[in-house]
Amino acid sequence: MKTKQQAQWVLETLKKVYPDAHCALIYSNPFELLIATILSAQCTDVRVNQVTPGLFDRFPDPQAFADAELAEIEQMIHSTGFFRNKALAIQTASRQLLADHEGQVPNDMTSLTALKGVGRKTASVVMGNAFDNPQGVVVDTHISRLSQRLGLTKKKQPEAIEKDLMRIIPKSDWTLFPHLMIFHGRAICKSRKPVCAECVFASGCPSVQ
């Protein structure tokens, strides 16, 4: 099966198996998603979702984060890990939004990635999920692992994997595809011990065990 055909098979199958796949981070506006995604680095979505309700209640907008004592932000996000770097990124990005974008999260990759603590992956999450304007395919550890196992790419680096996926996944599915892959990665295609016997791709997966 050619790579593009393989990708179509994977995509359509995952849509059937996980019809409710969605962004696991809980947010109510683009700014909240931006902050939640910054917090999600090296941290589970579950933990981030435990932290953000109190955080957003205390700091509801960029101005509140910009005016906050950095130590208080650090304390509130401590459990997400790397809390000093994340707190500084959140406060600096908030100040950048106020200075350069009238306090609004910009709807373009160049402006987003110019914000402190915002790389291409974080910007892609915001663009696709908050603005329905996908500019790429988010590649995290789940998507990297599954894309390689399912024969969608032979690349190892996230940037290279993303380029391969953008060529074989329709742009209309760039936002949904990572959610589908993450759902499958958590349920079946786990990092240490994939449950191949229960996998819907067992008949056509090059990595089946």
Nearest partner of 30 among 89, 95, 99, 94, judged by Cα: 94
Residue 17 CA: distances (Å) to CA of 21, 34, 40, 94, 188: 9, 29, 25, 39, 11
Locate tokens 């917090």: which residue?
A: 39
User: Which residues does the annotation mark as catalytic?
Assistant: 121, 140
Burial profile 184-193: b = 16 or more Cβ within 10 angstroms, e = fewer: bbeebbeeee
Cα–Cα distance between 131 and 116 in angstroms, integer? Answer: 20
Residues 6+ apart with CB under 8 A from 178: 137, 138, 139, 140, 143
**What single-letter amino acid sits at 29?**
N
